[in-house]
Amino acid sequence: KSTDANAASEEMMKTIYLVIVKQDNTIENIVDIELPDTQEEAMVNILVTAGQKTVYGFANLSDDIKAQSGLSALSIGNNMPNISNASLTIENGYTIDASANKYLPMSNFTSFMVYSTNGQSFSMELIRLISKVKLNLKNESGKKITLQQFAMSPLTTSSVYLLPKNTSKPVFPAGYTQASYSYNFGSGFSFEDGQELEYTTYINESEITGTGWFQIRLTTQTGDGTATEERIALTNLTYLNRNDYLYLPIILTDYKLEIDVKSYPPIGGYPALVVY
């Protein structure tokens, strides 16, 4: 587990799926294991021949993701298909569900040389396919607030690449689509003045295709429930890459902006006109 305070235990690796490919493009070995919850480090021993290898590594892949990306059809001794452009669709608002073995999917690949000697090792970082967004909401309005809806746009709604094309900036399949994502809050998302609430969700890596930034819309209900307000904020980001963590502290106040435009005539001129 990461020592980062923003890391959660449910975001850890639960399963590992490794495909080891020889230089002639045949699959030499497949590792498919479930990691024990009681250990922070797991080990598996495999036998491979000497030579150049490419390893495709995945964590927390569901059966559906394996089927979408073609990984479920792989077998030892067969040729490894080109999965550099393999893609899959992940819904915005992705949630972790331990009861359904649904955790955060991760992926990457690397190459290394195996020699006929002991003590060799290689490292491969597994990168989460999705981004994490966390809202920290503080009520400074002087009255009770009930959260109704959170919306963010524009987010990728079509498929994304299974493997990272670029670890610093997102790259998308041709013809990808974007739209607004919204989440309707249920019960339990009301808080009094001076209290704080948090909401975490997982979204697809996304980018701004024109000018501007990501837009956040928060619909709230205040007081006795008769007044509904829509609050809008902008990030200063033009893209969210896979595995990015976006933390949004939002203070909800009772401030209202009233624009008062006044026209002052010359002395002895026409009467003053006040427009609101």
pLDDT of residue 4: 78
pLDDT of residue 81: 95
d(CA 106, CA 163): 9
Spatial CB neighbours of 91, under 8 Å, sequence gap ≥ 6: none
pLDDT of residue 95: 92
Query: For 141-224, where are the E strands, in sequence order?
Result: 145-156, 160-161, 178-184, 190-191, 196-204, 206-207, 215-222
Structure tokens at 218: 């928060």
What are the Cα distances from residue 211, in Å, to 131, 166, 175, 215?
A: 21, 22, 19, 12
Q: What is the 3-state secondary structure (H, E, C) of 8-71?
A: CHHHCCCEEEEEEEECCCEEEEEEEEECCCCCCCCCCCCCCCCEEEEEEEEECCCHHHHHHHCH
The 27-34 sheet, strands edge to edge:
27-34, 15-22, 51-59, 106-114, 127-128
What's the burial of 147, exposed, middle or buried (CB within 10 Å: 0-12/13-18/19+)? buried
Number of helices (H) and strands (E), helices first, in the chain?
Answer: 1, 19
pTM of the model: 0.85
Give 59-100 pLDDT, tens digit per residue: 999 888 899 889 999 999 999 999 999 999 999 999 999 888
pLDDT of residue 271: 64
In which residue ranges of the chain is pLDDT below 50?
none
Structure tokens at 85: 């452009």
d(CA 219, CA 223): 14
Spatial CB neighbours of 236, under 8 Å, sequence gap ≥ 6: 213
The number of beta carbons lying within 10 Å of the beta carbon of residue 91 is 12
Nearest Cα to Cα of residue 20 among 56, 60, 46, 44: 56
Task: Tell me what percent of the chain is helix, strand and coil, each rounded to the nearest 5.
Answer: 5, 45, 50
